[in-house]
Amino acid sequence: MTDFQTAKRAVHPAARMYARECLEGKLDRREFLTRATALGVSATAAYGLIGLAAPAARADTPQEGGELRIQMDIRAQRDPRTWDWSELANVCRGWLEYMVQYERDGSLTPILLESWEANEDATEYTLNIRQGVTWNNGDPFTAEDVAHNFERWADASVEGNSMVSRMVAISEDGRLRDGAVEVVDEHTLRLHLDRPDIAMIVNLADYPAAVVHPSFDGDPIGNPIGTGPYRPVSHQTGIGAVVERNPDHTWWNEGNGAWLDRIEFIDLGTDPSAWVASAEGDEIDMLYETTGDFLDIFTAIGMEQTEAVTAATLAVRFNQESPPYDNRDVRRALQMAVDNETVLELGYNDQGVVAENHHVCPIHPEYAEMDPPEYDPDAAREMLEEAGFGDYEFELISSDESFHTATCDNVAAQIRAAGITINRTILPGATFWNDWLTYPFSATSWAMRPLGVQVLNLAYRSGEAWNETAFSNEEFDETLAEANGIADADERREVMARLQQIMREEGVLIQPYWRSLFRHARPGIHNAEMHPTFEVHYQYYWKS
């Protein structure tokens, strides 16, 4: 039987619709794979629906053993549901696993789930828990454990718990809704949503969704009970972390990973020149991410480059709780003073795509085409004067990370060129990120989410933990709720057009570009290509 014939058997009707849209050119392959696999279609079957064979596994035979040294920021650890940076998750991926994993091609791979199914309107999901999995303390992994994690994720009383925004359809009054999670048997769970949510499974791949043991006390280093094949040895904020293969635990996926003996993460600060020196001194084998002019430098010293095209971005945003950014005309004026294409060229070496100040990317399936944002420095100056802020002294704050600095320098230079007074403040990374949610006017990195509604839910819905703009708009919230319940990409695009327009009308942020992401590693390091959401799956890396 061909892949196409296999795929046609008993797949979700929406997945067949997505396949038609992909074949007609209305949906690109990455987004088709995300949407189809989110409904429970296997990656092999999804490829078959569009008449293709799934990519073959590499013919190389992995070699066991060895150590890998990775340059990466080491941040203070805490409860995974409050993680706000990919680096926090990357250290712990060796023992804290996920229900599903987002892949470079856009598909979802089952990890602690064996499979899942969604009903036709995405209001009920049946989760088949992988059998034969044990926690590294010897306890069996069951559906009750998964139910416990859904309860944790839905708990709005936990400060900084961003998973709450992903659990809206199974929550009520800041907690898991009674009857929303049904334990069918030891290895089966059923989710009963009170509204359609096509992003439910995709959300379980996001980095704060690490699955923890019922006894978890909030410290993933001091209480490292997990299902994965590694364990922590040490963790020092701002310095480094060491992980080793766990000899006391039999991994459920034995033979398909855990090839490295030891992984060391080394924090070299935010200056890429220090990374180059460490690479030349044979002190690191791989970078977390390479940016800017240093791409050519790392290639020149013999490291290999990989790229991921993504919806990652740098958001230069206004905190609407901080005057004068509570004034829409002030925000709109500063937007109009900045040409995003120039910022991409000078702030990010033209290594991406121009963005449009609404945080929905052309690679998102529901993206609605719009005219470019208005760029008019003279009108910007006039609008500020009419609003009573013609003589106001603005301040743009950024961390000292190279592309953050270069981007904000250019944004400030354009605002200054429009006749508006603005100062630049550059803070060390450790200082900046301690208060990233509170600065009046600053820039923060946002990783890609596979669906446009996901990032709007996380970053701009009223009251959410990651709403750094303090944006609160009743029409936006109601329209976003409508979009979350529309499975068809074309229908959702009509609603998304209004959401994007509201973002622009309200002057929520200056969003200059969508980033291409790059990573360098020494030859002979396998499976470590740059991931579109910055994930480091060291449990599947190996060295030859």
Whole-prediction pTM: 0.86
pLDDT of amino acid 170: 97
Tokens of 130: 């992988």
pLDDT of amino acid 239: 97
Say if residue 3's pLDDT is above 60: no
64-96+218-303+530-544: CATH superfamily: Periplasmic binding protein-like II (3.40.190.10)
Q: With left for phi above 0 and alpha for psi between -120 and 50, is residue 302 left, alpha or beta?
A: left
| Residue 85 near residue 436 (C-beta atoms within 8 A) | no
Say if residue 56's pLDDT is above 70: no
Q: Measuring CA to CA, which residue among 188, 199, 181, 46 is closest to residue 113?
A: 188
List the end-to-end C-alpha distance of the chain, in Å, as a whole number.
Answer: 37
Query: Which amino acid, one-letter code, is at 371?
Result: D
Strand pairing category for 113-118 and 124-129: antiparallel
- Burial tier of 6 (Cβ tally within 10 Å: 0-12, 13-18, 19+): middle
Chain segment 86-111, per-residue pLDDT in tens? 999 999 999 999 999 999 888 899 99
What is the spatial distance between Cα 298 and Cα 277, in angstroms, rounded to a whole number?
10
| Residue 353 near residue 513 (C-beta atoms within 8 A) | yes
Q: What percent of the chain has pLDDT over 90?
A: 80
What is the spatial distance between Cα 159 and Cα 457, in angstroms, rounded to a whole number?
17
What is the dotted CATH code of the domain comprising 98-209? Answer: 3.90.76.10
* Residue with the larger pLDDT of the pair 163 and 8: 163
pLDDT of amino acid 541: 98
Return mean pLDDT, the chain: 93
What are the domain boundaries of the chain?
3-49, 64-96+218-303+530-544, 98-209, 309-516
pLDDT mean over 385-407? 95
Q: Measuring CA to CA, which residue among 255, 222, 136 is closest to residue 539?
A: 255
- Answer whether CATH 3.10.105.10 is correct for domain 309-516: yes
